[in-house]
Amino acid sequence: MASIYDRFMAETERACLADWRAELLSAASGAVLDLGAGTGANVPHMPKAVTRLVLCEPDPHMRRRLAARAGEAEVADASAEQLPFDDESFDFVCCMLVLCTVSDPERALAEVHRVMKPGGKLLFIEHVAARQRPRRFLLQRWCEPVWKHLAENCHLTRDSEEAIEKAGFEFEVLKRESMRKALPIIRTSVRGIARRATSDA
Ligand SMILES: C[S@@+](CC[C@H](N)C(=O)[O-])C[C@H]1O[C@@H](n2cnc3c(N)ncnc32)[C@H](O)[C@@H]1O
């Protein structure tokens, strides 16, 4: 996966993803955690206001590529479900195309909540279940067992928007849009900014 990931995503990056990353990441400042940082596609978009950048990536092959792009950022071998960071350490957490792949999204989001400072923000882009498009949803369900096997546990029918809300975040920005030039099964996407809810702060 690591060896083909950038080539596989290149057209989608050009068509929309790079712009979406840049737009969301322009809000980031202070201490930032990039969860499942992959090959480091977010790194070039980090603004100068980011004072500490931690790139967390459990896959050694991805991590090798990530290290080449990381510059001054810290690279951590860690899974979202068990983050080796103190409570309330980060101002922002980035989660881009990761909730589809983690083995336990609920636990991963609980960890994001734990390591985020009160009032901290989650910047996210996720492909999700196409519930409003029955034919595409059927295709996703049909392809999912094989796709999961081929694409390192990537699920096609997760409702990440709902999972983020349930984990104690409030959406400040929420956009649902087609991820252009992506395969139809991963084209339905949500992105936005979610704040750690004040009742938990
Ligand atoms: C589709 S890639 C996305 C990479 C990057 N975030 C991006 O936007 O290009 C998913 C990444 O999540 C990582 N990943 C898989 N399971 C994970 C877990 N439990 N915790 C954190 N990252 C995980 C994979 O190794 C992979 O690098």
- What's the pLDDT tens digit per position in 78-134? 999 999 999 999 999 999 999 999 999 999 999 999 999 999 999 999 999 999 999
Distance 160 CA to ligand 1 centre (A): 15
CB-ligand 1 contact for 57 (6 Å cutoff) = yes
What's the pTM value of the predicted model, to 2 decimals?
0.96
Which CATH class name applies to 5-200? alpha beta
Question: What distance in angstroms lies between residue 57's CA and the mean position of ligand 1's atoms?
Answer: 7
Spacing, Cα 165 to ligand 1 middle (Å): 21
Q: Is 2 in the pocket of ligand 1 (CB under 6 A)?
A: no
What residue owns the CA closest to ligand 1's atom 14? 36
- Above 90 in pLDDT, residue 197? no
- Residue 200 pLDDT more than 60? no
Complete edge-to-edge strand list for the sheet that includes strand 169-178? 74-76, 50-56, 30-35, 90-96, 116-127, 188-196, 169-178
Within its chain, how far is the Cα of 144 from the centroid? 19
Q: Give pLDDT, residue 199.
A: 59
Contacts (Cβ under 8 Å, ≥6 apart) of 146: none
For 75, phi and psi rounded to 5 degrees?
A: -110, 125
The pLDDT mean for the chain works out to 96
Nearest to 156 by CA among 185, 189, 183, 124: 185
Distance CA 186, CA 183 (A): 6
**pLDDT category of residue 201 using cuts at 50, 70 and 90:** very low
Beta bridge partners of 194: 122, 171
Ligand 1 pocket: which of 101, 102, 147 to mutate (most atoms <8 Å of CB)?
Answer: 101
124-175: per-residue pLDDT in tens?
999 999 999 999 999 999 999 999 999 999 999 999 999 999 999 999 999 9
Confidence band, pLDDT 50/70/90 cuts, at residue 182: very high
Q: Which residues contact 197 (CB under 8 A, 6 or more apart)?
A: 168, 169, 170
Please work out whether the CB of residue 38 comes within 6 Å of at least one atom of ligand 1.
yes
Report DSSP letters for 39-65, one per residue: TTTTGGG--TTEEEEEEE---HHHHHH
From the DSSP assignment, how many helices (H) and strands (E) are in the chain? 6, 7
Domain ranges, ordered by start, for the chain = 5-200
